[in-house]
Amino acid sequence: MMLRSTLATLSLCFSMASAKADSVKLTFDSLASSDTYGQVTLDLPFDVEIKALDLKKVFALYVGKSVGESVGDGPSITGRYALTQGNLVFTPKYPPEPGMSYTAIFNASLFSKQVGQNHSAFKQPLYQLTRFIEPEQPYTAGEVLKVYPQADILPQNVLRFYVYFSQPMSFDNPYQYLSIINQNNEVVSDAFVEFREGLWDENRMRLTVFIHPGRIKRGVGPNVKQGPVFQPHQHYQLKVDKTFKDLAGTKLKQDFYKPFTITAPQYQKLDPKSWQFKLPAINSLQNLVIHPTRLLDPVLTQRMVTMVNSQTGAMVPADIQLSVVGDKLLIEPELPWSAGDYRIQFDSKLEDLSGNTPAWAFDSETPIKPVSGSASEYSISFSL
């Protein structure tokens, strides 16, 4: 493996009334073979008492980070702090990943407040050091791997899409690279609700894209003025433009298109008790197959469906997934099925593609409040 950058250092000089001229140094060890690989060191010209500081707020390491953002604007990397030879050292719990950029941030302004002294000699309130970790293999351009939902026919009031990338993406505004194109090859304006930097998973490889709910809900301003984003029986494409860059600054290999056709909207609550299912054989590892009456949200389903033993109340370990299209809920046990009574429990926040849950409908002509249901109301029971 080729090893490139050894030690990246940013020096920021200043003088203090109580100390001779000295420098603040942020260093990041990016040499993979080093015993201190990934460590960030903050060298200050005076002693620091760790107990007096809320360290995660004044000195932290992030995956990427936009210049100008302060500590606390999003989750930092987990790790431990220590004083080493008078320097404050942060060691990440896991070593940096090749092909990704990291930013160390020292918030001098907040530091001064926490120690109760106004270190006016700091030249700026915030110091940053960003370094890109060279990939072990020749770097290749990223691509869109898939978009959920994967079904070709979607309801008019579909609420969200999930876009999966092959590698972590940049902190650019993602919406400038996304568009909905109608069957006349025209871009649908104001199709998305935009969040600062987008809604990403922790690895910046899955982007959640919301269709503007104001254009989905009937009687709401944007819906009245502009109409729905989608029209039934028409064809559309979700486009991801190839100019979207990853964290390394490399553009995608090619444009990506997710084609789909729109059908009638879905306005009713989910009703799990009406769903049909196919039982597995005892002593087998066959899937329990449940057929929801509509397509479910593929991401929420994985954490909002559980299986318990009805007699003991104990959780039954199982892998719970939707089929590729999303029309089947597949429950595969970790151990062979045994005779007994079981219950599949659905969280009241489980959603279909239109945001409807077992507790309430996302869009109703008569506004209703979510209602709390019992465990039995949001479950399916069966016996083997």
pLDDT tens string, the chain, 384 residues long: the values are: 333 333 333 333 222 333 334 467 778 887 777 778 888 888 876 666 666 667 778 888 888 765 445 444 567 888 888 887 778 888 888 888 887 888 888 888 888 787 776 665 577 777 788 888 877 666 788 999 999 999 999 999 999 999 999 999 998 899 999 999 999 999 999 999 998 889 999 889 999 999 999 889 888 888 888 889 999 999 999 999 999 999 888 999 999 999 999 999 999 999 998 999 999 999 999 999 999 999 999 888 888 899 999 988 889 999 999 988 888 999 999 999 999 999 999 998 999 999 999 988 888 755 445 454 444 468 889 999
* Confidence at residue 370, expressed as pLDDT on a 0 to 100 scale: 47
* Confidence at residue 303, expressed as pLDDT on a 0 to 100 scale: 86
Query: In one letter, which amino acid is 319?
Result: D
pTM over 0.75: no
Give the number of residues written for the chain.
Answer: 384
Which of 10, 124, 8, 130 lies closest to 65, judged by CA? 130
Q: What are residue 200's DSSP bridge partners?
A: 207
Right CATH number for 144-263 from 1.20.140.10, 3.50.50.60, 3.40.1410.10, 2.60.40.3710? 2.60.40.3710
* Cβ 163 vs Cβ 177: under 8 Å: no
* Confidence at residue 11, expressed as pLDDT on a 0 to 100 scale: 31
* Cβ 199 vs Cβ 193: under 8 Å: no
Q: How many contiguous H segments (helices) and E segments (strands) does the chain have? A: 5, 23
For the chain, where do the domains classified as CATH 2.60.40.3710 start and end?
Answer: 144-263
Q: Which H helix or E strand runs over 29?
A: strand 19-29
Is residue 42 exposed (0-12), middle (13-18) or buried (19+ Cβ within 10 Å)? buried
Tell me the backbone φ, ψ of residue 153, rounded to 5 degrees. -120, 120
**Angle at alpha carbon of residue 330, lines to 324 and 335, rounded to 5°:** 135
* Confidence at residue 280, expressed as pLDDT on a 0 to 100 scale: 94
CATH number of this structure's domain 272-383:
2.60.40.1220
Helix %, strand %, coil % of the chain (to 5): 10, 35, 55
CATH number of this structure's domain 7-132:
2.60.40
